[in-house]
Amino acid sequence: MTRAELRRPHAVGSAYERVEGRDKVVGAARYAAEFVRDEACHGWIVGSTVARGRITEVDTATAAAVPGVIDVLWHGNAHRLTEVDDAELMVLQDDRVQYHGRPVAVVIGRTLEAARAGAAALRIDYDVEPFHVQLSAHDPDLVVPDELNAGFPTDTESGDVEAGLTRADVVVDQEYRTPHLHNVPMEPHATTARWDAADQATVYDSTQNSSEVSRTAAQAFGLGAGAVTVHSEHVGGGFGSKGTTRPNVILALLAARLVDRPVTVTLTREMTFHLVGYRTPTIQRVRLGATAAGRLTAIVHETVEQSSRLLDFAEQTGESTRHMYAAPARRVTHRLSRLDVPTPRWLRAPGEAPGMFAVEAAMDELAEQLGLDPVELRIANEPETDPDSGLRFSSRHYVECLREGARLFGWSRPRPQGTGPWRVGRGVAGSTYPAYQQPSSARATARADGTFDVEIAAADIGTGARTVLRQIAADALQVPIDRVRMHVGSSALPQASGAGGSSGTASWGRAVTRASEQLCDRLTAVGGAVPFDGLSAEADTTDELSAQPALARFAYGAQFVEARVNTITGEVRVPRALGTFAVGRVVNPRLARSQLIGGMTMGLSMALLEEGRWDPAFGDTVNDNFADYHIAANADIGDIDVHWLDEQDDHLNPMGSKGIGEIGIVGTAAAVTAAVHDAVGVRIRDLPVRLDKVL
Ligand code: MOS
């Protein structure tokens, strides 16, 4: 190291606390429903009570007669929107109803209570049409989507799959199912909208992507770029459900336009089960062929999943299967069932979480049939290059994760004894998630007092994005971290990608680094001799990202679970889970640990508890609340132990980081079902592991 490098501060790699942590715990942080409180009135969304049909009458008189009700917004008086890609956003435009809970009106009241009372009094009549809400692999009208989300191909095939299965010594051929899963972030979706002029609006929204909401909202109202400014300073979680503009944004803007004053639309917990998307249920057939020595001869992964009548949302459930293990023959397919349900959307590791459950569960069954250790079976099928593209991996330390995880977990030690009716089992599964990056821009500005303002329309959804970007900026500016003020959470800041696909730190960190480096160059050029207050630099990463060499960039992990299963009651407990990950350089160990533990917690919840149910008779969700839709609470979670390798990867971004938001949920459920099988010999292939399935 040179002397200059030794002097240089290194904020990246240190366990800083969240910048806004104190504001949040003392209640000083303001969320989307907490702006313009004095002037804003409240909109209460009225959802359709039928699953499919036509509205024949909206009688607003009874609602309007409720004291405090200002007006009722419905398709008869709503502003006509310009079409946008997401048909879920084309609310209150006509009399059609495509699913139970679809917004059909918004009652606007001076208070939330008045709006709710007005909504209860509103009378709407429907012509009901036959509907269907249950996913079936035997749906005669299954659709082949044009492509999957994010542009992935629907079907891929290479090698001779049938021959691969025929010459295999052992074949696993099983169907795996995952249910509807709901995002349910702690802060329900909320929007406060205000029209500042006929063609200018300000929106406070709980979103993972203020730039996207700004663009889409402007487009929907036929306005130019920048016409809608979106602020989202603090966001109480999203898990994908706030990844794009949601109907609450459009409804708040429509309502504010109708009554010509600011309107806040807050979703109730129940509404979040209908209106913001959910993880599609899946039916997955997985076939694995292998030689007696445990080398895969074929991998076949065929998924049936659902979408709505409004649009084809085609989740990339089998995408990770294309990249995970070596096999001479492979086929991955996706089919969609269009049902009379809300459109699914992203939920933490959309695609990977359910897809890897099926494939990793099948790998465990294969290991059992072959009499091989499941860790060794995975290692035996490690590819040299990406099996799908043939590209080199930028780095791949999956084997190291398996070996190190096994060591830390004590995989080779004898399994603990159970007591009484409790049996103990252990399971392992692999994790992977792509290391995505998206174009973003950032601005860095020098102040006369030696401090810096760094701005980017990033979203901190509770992950600590603001904090890690401040660390990255401090290092790039070569100053102590307390000299940097980080500004995120507004579309008025330099345009940036959303907090999604575990790409935030990588994408925004690159832009922040470049803007900071360029500002340093400028400051060096002026030599500090002239007044430099306000000197700034702005960088956009679009060009450098497209110039990146083609490589397969993925993060990896291995998860080990100990489960206790009660042979009398069927209860399953997970006293211990351990994850070892290879995620590039960790920018902030405190926040990274939190993300990985959070992901694994959600994975345990997916394995043991979560299950959204749709009622075939009424076409409605049955369990749209926290009493009936079970989510893991503290008492459900034992010790979660998270480790990571010291992974160096120079082919990623200036920080050398891979995303960590989603990989923690990938693989957990398969490790749990493997452990349950190890304990009591029961294979559970449809999640969640309910006690009636165990017995
Ligand atoms: Mo995440 S589901 O990509 O917000």
Q: What is the mean pLDDT of residues 683-690?
A: 98
Domains of the chain: 3-29+438-546 (3.30.365.10), 391-436+549-695 (3.30.365.10)
Q: What is the mean pLDDT of residues 580-607?
A: 98
Q: How confident is the model at residue 416 (pLDDT cuts 50, 70, 90)?
A: confident
pLDDT tens-digit profile of 254-311? 999 999 999 999 999 999 999 999 999 999 999 999 999 999 999 999 999 999 999 9
pLDDT tens-digit profile of 42-54? 999 999 999 999 9
The single-letter code of the amino acid at 560 is F
- The ipTM (two decimal places) reads 0.97
Q: How far does the centroid of ligand 1 lie from the alpha carbon of residue 323, in Å? A: 20
DSSP letter string over 319-338? TTHHHHS--SSEEEEEEEEE
DSSP 8-state secondary structure symbol assigned to residue 159? S
pLDDT tens-digit profile of 135-190? 999 999 999 999 999 999 999 999 999 999 999 999 999 999 999 999 999 999 99
Q: Catalytic one among 302, 315, 360, 662?
A: 662
Q: Provide the pLDDT for residue 478.
A: 94
E strand or H helix that includes residue 564: strand 552-566
Residue whose tokens read 């993300």: 595
Q: Provide the pLDDT for residue 8.
A: 58
Q: How far does the centroid of ligand 1 lie from the alpha carbon of residue 156, in Å? A: 24
Nearest to 331 by CA among 137, 167, 170, 165: 165
Query: For a pLDDT cut of 70, what percent of the chain falls above it?
Result: 98
CB 485 within 8 A of CB 506: no
Distance of CA 137 to CAs 173, 302, 318, 422, Å?
Answer: 16, 10, 16, 36
pLDDT beyond 90 at 527: no
Q: How far does the centroid of ligand 1 lie from the alpha carbon of residue 322, in Å? A: 20
Asked if residue 494 has its Cβ within 6 Å of ligand 1, the reply is no
The pairing of beta strand 170-178 with beta strand 228-231? unpaired
Q: Provide the pLDDT for residue 533.
A: 85
Q: What is the mean pLDDT of residues 13-18?
A: 97
Asked if residue 370 has its Cβ within 6 Å of ligand 1, the reply is no
CB 442 within 8 A of CB 456: yes
d(CA 368, CA 380): 15
Name the closest-CA residue to atom 4, ligand 1: 240
Asked if residue 346 has its Cβ within 6 Å of ligand 1, the reply is yes
pLDDT beyond 60 at 2: no
The reply to whether 5 belongs to the active site is: no
The per-residue pLDDT of the chain, averaged, comes to: 96
Asked if residue 501 has its Cβ within 6 Å of ligand 1, the reply is yes
Q: How far does the centroid of ligand 1 lie from the alpha carbon of residue 50, in Å? A: 30
Asked if residue 347 has its Cβ within 6 Å of ligand 1, the reply is yes
The pairing of beta strand 53-59 with beta strand 96-97? antiparallel
Asked if residue 500 has its Cβ within 6 Å of ligand 1, the reply is yes
pLDDT tens-digit profile of 480-523? 999 999 999 999 999 999 999 999 999 999 999 999 999 999 99
Distance of CA 343 to CAs 6, 102, 279, 315, 666, Å?
Answer: 54, 10, 9, 11, 23
Return all residues near 47 (Cβ < 8 A) that are at least 6 apart: 100, 101, 102, 103, 104, 271, 274, 275
d(CA 173, CA 286): 6
